[in-house]
Amino acid sequence: MNDPALPGFAQVLAAAARIAPHAHVTPVLRSRTLDELAGAQLFFKCENLQRAGAFKFRGACNAVWSLPAEEAARGVVTHSSGNHGAALALAARTRGVDAHVVVPRGAVPAKLAAIAAYGATLHECEPTMAAREAMAEAVRARTGARLVHPFTDPLVIAGQGTAALELLSQSGGLDVLLTPVGGGGLIGGSAIAVAGRGAVTRVVGAEPAGASEAHDSLARGERITVHPADTVCDGLRGTIGEINFALLRRYQVEVITVADADTLVAMRLLWQRLKLLVEPSSAIVLAALLQQRERFAGQRVGLLLSGGNVDLDAMLGG
Amino acid sequence: MNDPALPGFAQVLAAAARIAPHAHVTPVLRSRTLDELAGAQLFFKCENLQRAGAFKFRGACNAVWSLPAEEAARGVVTHSSGNHGAALALAARTRGVDAHVVVPRGAVPAKLAAIAAYGATLHECEPTMAAREAMAEAVRARTGARLVHPFTDPLVIAGQGTAALELLSQSGGLDVLLTPVGGGGLIGGSAIAVAGRGAVTRVVGAEPAGASEAHDSLARGERITVHPADTVCDGLRGTIGEINFALLRRYQVEVITVADADTLVAMRLLWQRLKLLVEPSSAIVLAALLQQRERFAGQRVGLLLSGGNVDLDAMLGG
């Protein structure tokens, strides 16, 4: 079970200490109405209230502050459809270094505006993983910036695990922790944190039915690398990373697939009941819970609300 | 300065103890981006995350749990365009007694649905204060229920003051506390709490320009009781109460008027930056601050976000 290439609990604990001066300890909210609806005790970890509006700041901040000073001085670069780009831009700003963000054409305008507002340089490319990686590599070669991958970087994974660490303490213990699954950085880090704490908690992922490569990879026993993405969950379109897939298998994480229609119903419930602006990629965890209500009945369930970067202009009119 | 008819600090402290088993201690959020925009240190007290979605639960809960058992058994009645009705309905449910809520025709549908969901009996009337009071009196006479006025009841005012009490502790001290002004229950209770704590904090009210009777009453030196209301802030259309006006004068509270257009800009800022669903009646405090940016520059400012009961059906489509 010991693979030295995979980040472990020590890295998550180190990340927690490293990001503490910069990241928020986000609140955990309860709702009696949603508890009644679910027939369970729900603990909502509000990473939509994290700096830059998503848990992604944890991993980006851990990566930026792990760099030796001379390497950090050359800046950081990444490719991201949104939240990770904003997170890295802000993390770089906390250390006073440059950030370059490669963004696929068609990304949510509100997210691009946030990245630019944090002072990063934007580089637009075609909306394919190959084009994203190629342009990030070109920027890296030109500037000497350190590449901080949105979900396969071990420092990023360790940083994302700090949210689950906090939630375990804040909730007083959980039977289940539900997190969204995109590239697998959050669920990978969460699985490490939960196992490291020695918690009985089962980690369960929620993935859009229209971008279900983590679920399908686990079912097949090997990682699927080419997968069409058709989902409103714009934060969950990435393909599961190799290291991330290895973490899912090591920690025997289960992944549930969720239809977009159910996710949108859950999003509205969260807006109405928790008074929180969460994006579809967050609401998917509540949708997964409600889809399998009997199974989770009576349990203490943590739900990781990953982000709140909704495109209000599209929703309410510019 | 001692008027025995006005609630004082002892009543606010008693309310805090009485409602503690039922009400949330709501979080205080910060935003570096909004701090930069305002040029001040902002502390947002999230009463939109209070039970039933608004600070109103505090006052209603204090009133319901202050009643002797035999009086409580006959139930409670009120008239309310929304948040107070929901709050009283939920407060009555926490004690297992009946609630009757008189609602003006034209109130926000989402708010009426919430009142009904908490188990109260709805009674619809004409949208005038006279019609509301007449119907509430008729229900009271028929059922023996105790009338709990939304903002003139001293128990309600004392309960509302507990939010400011919490914020003073949570923030570590404030130069200014900004609260919305409708009937004057929240600002009245806040002024009592701030004075009782011996805080240097100035209490400043924000009132819609289209429903500015508190501002105008203070300017004239006597209470205006007939005033047209034309504002999107549906929680702030009530006319300032007599006891509330007396509290504003006693504590020398200032009231700033705000145009609806500025309030809507502030609402969107809060949605985008704090990831919080707040209603216009809450956002008005940020609008007031931004309207007088120079004046508040460099100060520690508490902003009481009073509620989050937005009509999502109207905004996003049913």
CB contact under 8 A, B272 and A312: yes
- Select from B82, B81, B115, B83 the least CA-distant residue to B99: B115
Instruction: Tally DSSP H helices, then E strands, for chain A.
Output: 15, 10
CB contact under 8 A, A275 and B53: yes
Distance CA(A139)–CA(A102), nearest Å, equals 9
CB contact under 8 A, B49 and A29: yes
With a cut of 50, say whether residue B1 has pLDDT above it.
no
Span A226-240, average pLDDT: 85
pLDDT tens digits along A105-114: 887 777 788 8
With a cut of 90, say whether residue B110 has pLDDT above it.
no
Note whether A9-54+153-316 and A57-147 share their fold: yes
Q: Please report the residues numbered 165 through 224 in chain A whose beta carbons come closer than 8 angstroms to any beta carbon of chain B.
A: none
Burial class, A106, CB count within 10 angstroms (exposed 0-12 / middle 13-18 / buried 19+): exposed
CATH topology assigned to domain B9-55+153-309: Rossmann fold (3.40.50)
CB contact under 8 A, B27 and A27: yes
B91 Cβ under 8 Å from any chain A Cβ? no
Distance CA(A158)–CA(A7), nearest Å, equals 7
Q: Kindly indicate the confidence band of residue B253, based on its pLDDT and cuts at 50, 70 and 90.
A: very high
B235 Cβ under 8 Å from any chain A Cβ? no
Task: Give the model's pLDDT for residue A1.
Answer: 43
Q: Kindly indicate the confidence band of residue A316, based on its pLDDT and cuts at 50, 70 and 90.
A: low
Q: Which residues pair with B41 in a beta bridge?
A: B300
**Would you list the domain boundaries of chain A?**
9-54+153-316, 57-147
Task: Give the model's pLDDT for residue A238.
Answer: 80
CATH topology assigned to domain B57-147: Rossmann fold (3.40.50)
Q: Please report the residues numbered 27 through 46 in chain A whose beta carbons come closer than 8 angstroms to any beta carbon of chain B.
A: 27, 29, 32, 46
Q: Kindly indicate the confidence band of residue B4, based on its pLDDT and cuts at 50, 70 and 90.
A: low
B268 Cβ under 8 Å from any chain A Cβ? yes
pLDDT tens digits along B294-305: 999 999 999 999
pLDDT tens digits along A147-160: 999 999 999 999 99
Residue in A29, A117, A312 closest to B268 by CB: A312
Q: Which CATH number fits domain A9-54+153-316: 3.40.50.1260, 2.60.40.10, 3.40.50.1100, 3.40.190.10?
A: 3.40.50.1100
Task: Give the model's pLDDT for residue B81.
Answer: 67
Distance CA(A189)–CA(A159), nearest Å, equals 7
DSSP string for A209-255: GGG-HHHHHHHHTS---------S-GGG-SPPPHHHHHHHHHTT-EE
